[in-house]
Amino acid sequence: MTKLTKFATAGALCAFMAAPVAAEELRFTVWTGNDAHLAMLNGIAESFKETHPDVTVRFETIPAADYVQKLTFQLAGGNPPDLGWLGEEPSPAFRDAGVLEDVGPALRAADGYNYDDFSEPAMGLWVDGETVSGIPFSTSPFMIYYNKTMFDAAGIADPLELYEQGEWTWEKLREVAKEISAANDGAWGFEFKDGQGYDSRIMHALMPPIRAYGGYAWQDGQCGFSEPEAVEAVTLLHEMVFDDKTIVPPGETGDFFAGDAAMTINQISRASRLTDAGFEWGIAPLPSGPAGESPVIGQAGIVVFNKGGQKDLAIEFLAHMTNETNVATMAQFFPPARAAVLDSAAFTDSNAIIPPEQMVHVTAAINEGTVLPSHERMPQILAALKPRSDALWRADADVQQALDALCSAISGEL
């Protein structure tokens, strides 16, 4: 059994038996089903035909919650895609399992590609010595989305105004969440990313305040969740859920994008969901804490699977998809790691519905932030973390005790 097959169960492999693939077709797995995203991706694939007229790129959507498991099944079952998206959390495990092609030599040699234009910090997760296991297409900081209509109706300064006044902290977020909930009967003050902070988005819920309070998840083989800084940050969240009743609690459904909550954390790729929003909205930086401003970045890269049947062609498409022109095209949804795009109006003016004066905060967060924690044993860590985090989200939970138990559960994997 390989390291990757630990994700899979043998009974599920039958769903991913090999299917015939056209000689000049590339299979590319993604986790988006968003029409605007897919239209953009298909447009990039169509432009590849200018130099490769006989090549078709087929984007296969796997829902985000199932993505790693089903991709693992495909690789283990002898039906590998040629390319795919890979997030920051599972990427070290896939690299460690030896299923990713080293794309470094080809991209460094590609005419006009300018590999050195990629930010060295942004490439950190994907580079090991001279080996390059992927190219980041989205280096996307977490931002606060807010319902400005709710804030204005309540006569409360919105998060961007509070940030510009130097007052935007996690304690202030807690305060305005209570005020906005009181002023908007039936509305939540805050919801976790995609409403999934208790399950598939656990790290996304915990890390922004933990980092702002000076804490960490793990480092040098040591768990940081039970350290005082992390405990203080998570206690704030716990009290907002159960004492203030301002965060959408476990078992209930809220949807910022439908107008159910005043604030949420998300990335700019979700802005497309607000194209026809029935309210005015905006984005602002994450709140600061005792450790100051601590932007948190979610990252995803494009990888080539070394068991795919057309590796050379797949690398050529990777080079095409991540050249400066196409990175500028993708920047409307996916913040770039190419300096030439990030530091230009091509990025700040790229999103049709987020004003440039708000997009500059996205640029600043990319330049100053750090990527979410990752680890070569991330799947095992998450599997151990999940049941312990469930215990945290109970009204009578002792936060310190719950986080001590969480650290005990994952320490053997660190």
For the chain, domain boundaries: 4-141+297-371, 143-294+377-413
Burial class (CB in 10 A: 0-12, 13-18, 19+), 41: buried
Cβ neighbours of residue 198 under 8 Å, at least 6 residues apart? 192, 205, 250, 389, 390, 393
At 309, the pLDDT band (50, 70, 90 cuts) reads confident
- Rounded to two decimals, the pTM is 0.82
Tens-digit pLDDT profile for residues 76-101: 999 999 999 999 988 999 999 999 99
- Which helix H or strand E contains 281, and what residues bound it? strand 281-284
DSSP H helical ranges for 331-398: 339-342, 345-348, 356-368, 378-392
Q: What letter represents residue 202's amino acid?
A: I
Supply the pLDDT for residue 4. 52
Q: Which residues contact 55 (CB under 8 A, 6 or more apart)?
A: 24, 25, 26, 48, 49, 313, 317
CATH architecture observed for domain 143-294+377-413: 3-Layer(aba) Sandwich (3.40)
Quote the CA–CA distance of 355 and 282 in Å, as a whole number: 9
CATH number belonging to the domain at 4-141+297-371, selected among 3.30.930.10, 3.40.50.720, 3.40.190.10, 1.25.40.20? 3.40.190.10
pLDDT for 192: 94
- Bridge partner residues of 309 (DSSP): none
For 290, half-sphere exposure in the C-beta direction (CA atoms, 13 angstrom radius) is: 9
Distance between CA 70 and CA 66 in Å, rounded? Answer: 6
Q: Compute the mean pLDDT over every residue in the chain, rounded to the nearest whole number.
A: 90
CA gap 121, 99 in Å, rounded: 24
At residue 312, does pLDDT exceed 80?
A: yes
**Rg of the chain, C-alpha, whole Å:** 21
In terms of phi and psi (left: phi > 0; alpha: psi -120 to 50; beta: otherwise), the region of 70 is alpha
- What is d(CA 332, CA 359) in angstroms, rounded to the nearest whole number? 10
Nearest to 256 by CA among 194, 169, 336: 194
Of 228, 365, 361, 211, the closest CA to residue 289 belongs to 211
Is the CA virtual torsion 318, 321, 327, 332 positive or negative? negative
% of the chain beyond a pLDDT of 90: 73
Question: pLDDT, tens digit, for every residue of 236-257?
Answer: 999 999 999 999 999 888 899 9
Q: Are 4-141+297-371 and 143-294+377-413 equal in CATH topology? A: yes
